[in-house]
Amino acid sequence: MVKICCIGAGYVGGPTMAVIALKCPSVEVAVVDISVPRIAAWNSDQLPIYEPGLDGVVKQCRGKNLFFSTDVEKHVSEADIVFVSVNTPTKTRGLGAGKAADLTYWESAARMIADVSKSDKIVVEKSTVPVKTAEAIEKILTHNSKGIKFQILSNPEFLAEGTAISDLFNPDRVLIGGRETPEGQKAIQALKDVYAQWVPEDRILTTNLWSAELSKLAANAFLAQRISSVNAMSALCEATGANVKQVSFAVGTDTRIGPKFLNASVGFGGSCFQKDILNLVYICECNGLPEVAEYWKQVIKINDYQKNRFVNRVVASMFNTVSNKKIAILGFAFKKDTGDTRETPAIDVCKGLLGDKARLSIYDPQVTEDQIQRDLTMNKFDWDHPLHLQPMSPTTVKQVSVVWDAYEATKDAHGVCILTEWDEFKDLDFQRIYDNMQKPAFVFDGRNIIDVDKLREIGFIVYSIGKPLDPWLKDMPAVA
């Protein structure tokens, strides 16, 4: 029986290994982590992450061929294939601070693998890492290995949160990079055999190591670039009277461009787009390519601009001050169908409004008060470390209350900001909300999910990203 161990039981390690266990009953899969509460949650009825369909998959395999454990060393030493899916945060100090990937967790995992291994192993990079990381990992493993042979593969993950299970069941492609030696090709084949149990062969791509590592960074950069492109257009739409939904539909019907990932928004969030582009920028700079670095940096600059622009629209519309005004925030997660708040645009928007002394009442169906308070007090990039190593927030933000109902959040509010596209927000009774708000009542839709005309009929002053402006907003500066 092939034994797989995955180091890191997070958003990637948990779901990917659960699906491998489900699709490959003859493979034994152990997912290990240094975080005791996380492993306890994986072994309970309340999984540590919210992901549609995940519960069912875990329940079918847990205790049969899928195990969650904190006994990292035991499972690593017994495994034939070791996936490493640990955090790769942005460095906050020293060389490359604010851009380069911090490989501390990766390096410590690699050293531990070298220490505890007693048999040859395939080590798979599942985390997103800088190009050439495999070379560094190879050095760590072979310098400490007591004659044991390791083959390193790069097998980046392309799942998106909220759709992880369907993405894993039916991936556009699985990418496996390895050494172009007979041993490297043998290792590629061994991993290919695992995926081939459910992924059609023509969707399993094999490349050299560096192409696989770079393709992951490139794919995220291209995806984020599409969003920044449509968001840049949204600003121009507001200035000219064009409607960004109509523009992106017209543009996306060109089969060379395609319709997906062209929704204008308050900005992209999530744990990876910004981190991976910063990493790409740093790699370009290190390789003497400042023009290429500058090109990709712009994707992040537009994303920051879009978040600022949204805050400025809110403040400018409400008589240039939100001081002591209650603003309802609907949605805090970085996208719908997840409780994940890492790099969510809601953090920047809330901080911007708090900077103007607003009082915030926040509702998100999947995010807890504790998480929101931590997010609003944590320093940039601190969130991307294992939970028990993150600083605890010593204070709470007093001007923030977190409630469990959209109607409660909007009661007596002056304005409503929609920051996550949860389906339930589309079906809210906006007449009821209007009746219970201060007047004039404002709605700022950062996700373009509401029916603007209907809300204007009710009496709201409405701003919806990239849509023709309400007469109220027309003469106000987009960026104050």
Ligand X SMILES: NC(=O)C1=CN([C@@H]2O[C@H](COP(=O)(O)OP(=O)(O)OC[C@H]3O[C@@H](n4cnc5c(N)ncnc54)[C@H](O)[C@@H]3O)[C@@H](O)[C@H]2O)C=CC1
Ligand Y SMILES: O=C(O)[C@H]1O[C@H](OP(=O)(O)OP(=O)(O)OC[C@H]2O[C@@H](n3ccc(=O)[nH]c3=O)[C@H](O)[C@@H]2O)[C@H](O)[C@@H](O)[C@@H]1O
CB 132 within 8 A of CB 101: no
- From the list ligand X, ligand Y, none, pick the one residue 310 interacts with, judged by a Cβ distance below 5 to 8 Å according to partner type: none
Binding mask 315-334 for ligand Y (x = CB under 6 A): -------------------x
Whether residue 322 is annotated as binding a ligand: the answer is: no
User: Does the CA dihedral 432-437-441-442 come out positive or negative?
Assistant: negative
Q: Which member of 5, 6, 24, 272 is catalytic?
A: 272
CB of 87 to ligand Y, least distance (A): 12
Whether residue 147 is annotated as binding a ligand: the answer is: no
CB of 456 to ligand Y, least distance (A): 24
> Is residue 272 flagged as an active site residue?
yes
Whether residue 273 is annotated as binding a ligand: the answer is: yes
Q: Residues 263, 279, 361, 410: which binds ligand Y (CB under 6 A)?
A: 263
Q: Is residue 375 within the footprint of ligand X (CB under 6 A)?
A: no
Whether residue 359 is annotated as binding a ligand: the answer is: no
Residue 67 DSSP one-character state: E
Q: Residues 28, 102, 161, 445: which binds ligand X (CB under 6 A)?
A: 161
Phi, psi of 389, rounded to the nearest 5 degrees: -100, -5
Measured distance between the N- and C-terminal CA atoms of the chain, rounded to whole angstroms: 64
Burial of 252 (0-12, 13-18, 19+ CB in 10 A): middle
Q: Residues 270, 331, 446, 466: which binds ligand Y (CB under 6 A)?
A: 270
- Minimum CB distance to ligand X smaller for 340 or for 470: 340
- From the list ligand X, ligand Y, none, pick the one residue 89 interacts with, judged by a Cβ distance below 5 to 8 Å according to partner type: none
- For residue 452, what are the contacts with CB-CB under 8 A and spacing of at least 6? 445, 462, 464, 467
- DSSP character string of 385-435: S-GGGSPPPSS--TTEEE-S-HHHHHTT-SEEEE-S--HHHHT--HHHHHH
Q: Is residue 38 within the footprint of ligand X (CB under 6 A)?
A: yes
- From the list ligand Y, ligand X, none, pick the one residue 33 interacts with, judged by a Cβ distance below 5 to 8 Å according to partner type: ligand X
Whether residue 53 is annotated as binding a ligand: the answer is: no
Whether residue 374 is annotated as binding a ligand: the answer is: no
CB 22 within 8 A of CB 60: yes
CB of 217 to ligand X, least distance (A): 10
For residue 208, the SS3 value is strand
Whether residue 33 is annotated as binding a ligand: the answer is: yes
- Minimum CB distance to ligand X smaller for 35 or for 231: 35
Tell which positions 58-117 bind ligand X, by CB under 6 A. Answer: 72, 85-88, 105, 108-109
CB of 216 to ligand Y, least distance (A): 7
Tell which positions 122-141 bind ligand X, by CB under 6 A. Answer: 127-128
The DSSP H or E segment spanning 328 is strand 326-330
CB 346 within 8 A of CB 331: yes
Count the alpha carbons within 13 Å of 366 in the hemisphere toward its beta carbon: 21
User: Does the CA dihedral 255-168-10-86 come out positive or negative?
Assistant: negative
DSSP-derived pairing of the beta strands 461-464 and 442-445: parallel
CB 186 within 8 A of CB 155: no
Six-digit token string for 156:
């980046």
| Contacting positions for ligand X (CB under 6 A) | 7-13, 33-35, 38, 72, 85-88, 105, 108-109, 127-128, 157, 159, 161, 271-272, 386
Residues annotated as catalytic are 272
Q: What are the binding residues for NAD(+)?
A: 8-13, 33, 38, 86-90, 127-128, 161, 272-275, 342
